[in-house]
Amino acid sequence: MALSTEYLTSAELFERALELIPGGVNSPVRAFRSVGGAPFFTRSAQASRLTTADGQELIDYVCTWGPAIHGHNRLEVREAIAQALNRGTSFGTPNPYEVAMAERVVELVPSVEKVRMVNSGTEATMSAIRLARGYTKRNKIIKFAGCYHGHVDSLLVAAGSGALTLGTPDSAGVPPSFAAETIVLPYNDVAALEAAFAEHPDEIAAIIVEPYPANCGLILPLPGYLQKLRDVCTQHGTVLIFDEVMTGFRVALGGVQEREGVTPDLTALGKIIGGGLPVGAFGGKAEIMDLLAPLGPVYQAGTLSGNPLAMAAGVAALDLLITEDPYTRLEAAGAQIRDALEGVAKELGLPLQVPQVGSMFALFFTEAPVTQFESALTSDKSMFNTVFHYALENGVYLPPSAYETCFISTAHTNSDIEQTIEVLCHGMKEITR
């Protein structure tokens, strides 16, 4: 069956979409509001590249906002989906794929003794917060400015790129009484953390944190900071939740918790774990997880949770990571881009920070290293936008916002990386013209 929209250009599609879908998009950052101009539509994607509805090929550093660590349309993942498809798309009963998935997650992610599958990262963090509250019988939670945990009511406070892009850090429609249970602290600030616990010693159910905040550019923890979060939580009976929706299987098979050797009580997962299909998961200590229905009093459910197609795709994606162990190569590619961009910025006299970890990097056009949300905001957006548009015209797609992280996949070849560096360096020269 051919779709009536199949042969339309990006401009034609966007014009129709604007009449039918709020803002023409199903997720706000896609609308290009931050960088200006109209978004392109993607007709197909293969390996490191997107092909737009206008026939342009782009080397992709968005990688579907993180999931596509193997690049697009990887054969093994597609075959796993096809095989599952032959057996049916949804059963509404337990299925063998769910168990295979759970085995892998428990094996790979240090904190996870038991895991429950959901359909998005948002559901994962929402459920982890509810579980932490049920477990501790407390209400308050701590989150950090600039960290995004999905569009959960009580977490949509100082929530990073999507909200930033729209210039509305807090969403309308979230009752102030919900947000009042959320304490927002600056990341990497031990004194602020200690002050919050001094003020509310027995009231804080959970700390939720992106251990490497990656939704306001990319911010890395100062030495000892994540361990400090661990220690404070242990001391106060507070549940430590690592939101590894972005970093899980991205910076290491076991995520930041493996890399940094700090083990949270609960972990939220998403993105890569779905192999490109809509999946999330949360897991952790069995003692806490066993409070979930049907065993315990914390309710959580999902009609399509553990969907066989999504599980098959996710298992295939994880198995490729296990057998190929691409992390050293990805780290080298990330460092190559970082070193090249920082070198050229220096020559040009441009203020540029390129925080990078493994296959994640971000561009902050600012003088000093970025350690928290406030300093991320000092990044010169117009410089980023100049580079973004130059790159897009020249075949390189960066995230369409100065406050997002770029992702490299295993499908990016050496020549892709070299071509990217050349284009971005020319883009930076455009700033100085």
Ligand X SMILES: *Cc1c(COP(=O)(O)O)cnc(C)c1O
What residue ranges bind ligand X (CB under 6 A)?
120-122, 125, 148-150, 210, 215, 243, 245-246, 270, 280
271 catalytically annotated: yes
Shortest CB 160 distance to ligand X, Å: 9
* Distance between start and end Cα atoms, the chain: 50
Residue 61 annotated in active site: no
- Nearest distance from C-beta of residue 150 to ligand X, angstroms: 4
Cβ-closest position to ligand X: 121
Could you tell me the two tokens for 415? 């020549």
Among 114, 212, 243, 390, the one annotated catalytic? 243
The residue among 270 and 276 lying less far from ligand X, judged by its C-beta, is 270
- Give the nearer residue to ligand X in terms of CB position, either 60 or 243: 243
Q: At closest approach, how far in Å is the CB of 149 from ligand X?
A: 5
Task: Let me know if 148 is a catalytic residue.
Answer: yes
Place of tokens 């998009």: 25
For residue 239, report the phi and psi dihedrals to the nearest 5 degrees: -80, 125
CB of 339 to ligand X, least distance (A): 26
Catalytic residue from among 97, 135, 148, 212: 148
* Least separation in angstroms between CB 295 and ligand X: 25
Nearer of residues 150 and 334 to ligand X, judged by Cβ: 150
Nearer to ligand X by C-beta: 29 or 431? 29
CA 433/CA 44 separation, integer angstroms: 35
Q: 215 vs 353, which CB is nearer to ligand X?
A: 215
Q: Which is nearer to ligand X, 13 or 256 (CB)?
A: 256
Catalytic residue (choose from 271, 327, 390, 397) = 271
Q: Shortest gap between Cβ of 84 and ligand X (angstroms)?
A: 21
Catalytic residue IDs:
148, 243, 271
